[in-house]
Structure 1
């Protein structure tokens, strides 16, 4: 009997590949490109610094939940400082993880990201770009922007919203981090409640589906003055 976990994994992988208009061959090619590149770069620095990308995604989703409760604007422009990025970090960004994040942002969160900017990019970041370029749709990949200097970053964003660490007038990054950590604590009960929520399928209305597998629609004529 097939392992149900393996079956679920395969179905999820095929669904994500279909969504991104990619094949398993594309996925395998990306993995092989990564392996060959690593073998040709023995000088790359290695670091055992712990980084759990799943934890990072969970923190990002929690921040999105807070913004849903407190803000009207839910579109994000992200800036990543990659000064301390290492090969160990990049290798944790597996193709399947990137595919799942892409689908979650596009379908689950309604594609809230309007742009993702990177600064202080080390040479190892080229490996990450190789993974991303082979897996993302062109319109999603076009959202990525690399800045070669802080001057380029300041030309893109108003200095009033940039932290002082990057030549702006906003608070320092560590101060902003403390503010967000306090906000997470304030929403602890809210997050704990989300963790125990479950779907009760028995409460779903019994609606017959049409030929295309969707509920029937009631189209009505509309007129405007």
Structure 2
């Protein structure tokens, strides 16, 4: 990696950065060290216009590397992606009988996205009861299921998403998941949505013991992060 050395006019206290910095950031002069070529760069000079002080090819490479660093670190010209980690705010969701897999719009997040972007997803919440099986799904633009996170297809796993398992003999260990978003998963507003889905054929009428805790004193989270935004 090319290094940009920054020092005072007197040359005292010079030290190299291992990250790429734009000389225009500094109000004083900066010393540009590119390969074996060194020279003074006046205050306000950008990397792209520094060809008078070093070989143009090296400067172009350095400028391109800076642009890449900015776009992937959240600095300079890049945003570092779009992330939503606000509480879901759905309260305590009481599940009722559902003979088939049912999407829960209240337990979902939608973020701006584009086809081909990578989205990280990480749920974090409490659940109670054992009469239901839980999964999550990336939705199509029309709100129907595109693919379940348990299988990556339009059919869920027999036991739902493994970390959501309701068998007390097992403990789920969740983490980040990454999905590459497809064209049919972008809605007319330019968003992609991931929602919880469940099946519960044996919940009796009046049984209110099967819960998802996503508010009401028990905040739940449904992190979504478009890392390519």
TM over 0.5: no
With structure 2 as the length reference, what TM-score do the two structures score?
0.19
Higher relative contact order (CA 8 A, sep 6+): 2
Which structure is higher in helix share? Answer: 1
What TM-score do you get using the length of structure 1 for normalisation? 0.20
Higher strand proportion, which one? 2
Larger Rg: 2
